[in-house]
Amino acid sequence: MEIIFLTIILGATILLAVYIGKIFKHKQEEAVAGEDEEEEQIQEEKEAPASKPKKKVVDRKSKEKVPTFQHPWLLTSLKGHSGRVLDMDISPNGKHLASCGEDRTVLVWSIKDFTGKEHKCLRCNVEFDHGLFVKWSPDSKAFVVQKAVQNCTEVYKMSKKVDGSLGDFSVAVTFPAKHQTDIIGMGISATGKFIATCSDATDLIVWSLKGEVLARLDTVHNLTYCCLVSPCGRFVATSGFTPDVKVWEVKFSRAGEFEKVSRAFDLTGHSSGVYSFSFSADSGRMATVSKDGTWKVFDTAVEFSKGQDPTVIMSGSYSWDSSLPSSITLSPDGRVVALSQDKSLAFYSVQTGLCAGTLADVHTEQIRRVIFSSDSSLVVTAGDRHVRVFHNVPGMRIQIQDLKAALKKNITNSAAKERIEKQIETHEAALKEIEA
């Protein structure tokens, strides 16, 4: 009996020892697992910061891959817009360049700073919209913006701040939205008497500076591609699907009262639609580029009231795909035309019709605007977020050729000969410095 009782006690003791051992072992395994998880978490936290520098290195490398445009003719690049630049205009006093872009701003640059390393600009915000076109007023104290979304015209005054510096912008006038389709052109007359806007659906409106409609015309182009006001402030012209450029005269009385808009003359000679056209500084010449693969320069200093028609001074062809839109700009001095298509730019001599130089991949996107400085020495382009300023090297070469031709004609006139020789020497030295 005692043996049986002792056996039971011994068995129970062994079972209890085994049970306690299992419980202790399970807790130990949980503790080890917890320590392993903590170590893994600590290891992940240590590795996490180390991965960030790798991302930064990748970003830095990707930034380094972005090409920087370089060319011997390039004077500088203006960087300030965060969106694509759509239009530009140089003020009549020659002091400022205004550029508008998809970033809802108009930036005003100082032209005298173009030769420096830093290019400061004044920022004018276009609220809840962005500008398609920008044009300076004749007094250079205001500019006109054609708004994209609202499809209306707005005049901004540029005043001085309290400290006396420029940069205080305010809306002076907002025109009513009259056009039903997209605007393809806008301009202000040099006389300050009218503003013209035109839609792609042949709707041309002549406005007073107060936003009153003076006249409304049908361009009869079927589709209108381009609309400009002449530098002399007397004409407004349009081109489009038809193979001509229509030029109207906006007439005012001697007292300054609006009278009428009447057809002055047409530019004819192309066999297909005219993509674009341009005026010289004195409005005495006009250049056109057409879908037929040619460009032309016309003498428009004619007495159209007496029945005189413009005549073609020079006609040339371009090698690009004529089915794609091209743009043309005539230099103020009338010596050079600049043609642009996509990202490329080509210069042609008005005197010979030959190509005088080309620029490829000027921007990362399609070139939207090409303008010359008032003295024809600079060419300014816009396409992406940057504005590029070039020396007009083709124009300089053509000017040297013209001076040498003039020198032969004045070989017996010692005073004229000496003056021309000095001009040739100055231009050749400047050209050599740029191309070096």
The pair of structure tokens assigned to 65 is: 């891959």
- Summarize the confidence of residues 220-229 as an average pLDDT: 97
Q: Which residues contact 104 (CB under 8 A, 6 or more apart)?
A: 83, 125, 126, 127, 128, 129, 130
Q: CA angle, 278 as apex, 178 and 291 as ends, to 5°?
A: 90
DSSP string for residues in 114-159 = TTSS---EEEEE-TTS-EEEEEE-TTSSEEEEEESSS--EEEEEEE
136-173 tens-digit pLDDT: 999 999 999 999 999 999 999 999 998 988 889 999 99
Residue 10 CA, distance from chain mean position: 100
Rounded CA separation 345/205 (Å): 32
Q: Assess whether pLDDT exceeds 60 at residue 333.
A: yes
| CA–CA distance, 143 with 154 (Å, rounded to integer) | 9
Q: What percent of the chain has pLDDT over 90?
A: 77
Q: Could you please report the per-residue DSSP string of 36-56?
A: HHHHHHHHHHHHHHHHHHHHH
CA distance 36 to 164: 70
Q: At what angle do helices 414-435 and 393-409 cross, to 10 degrees?
A: 160
3-state secondary structure of 291: coil
Q: Report yes or no: 136 and 109 within 8 Å, Cβ to Cβ.
A: no
pLDDT of 373-410, one tens digit each? 999 999 999 999 999 999 999 999 999 999 998 888 87
**3 state SS of 167:** strand
Going by pLDDT thresholds of 50, 70 and 90, the confidence category of residue 88 is very high
pLDDT digits (tens, 9 = 90+) for 289-321: 999 999 999 999 999 999 999 999 999 999 999
CA–CA distance, 131 with 103 (Å, rounded to integer): 9
CB 209 within 8 A of CB 173: yes
Model confidence at 122: pLDDT above 50:
yes
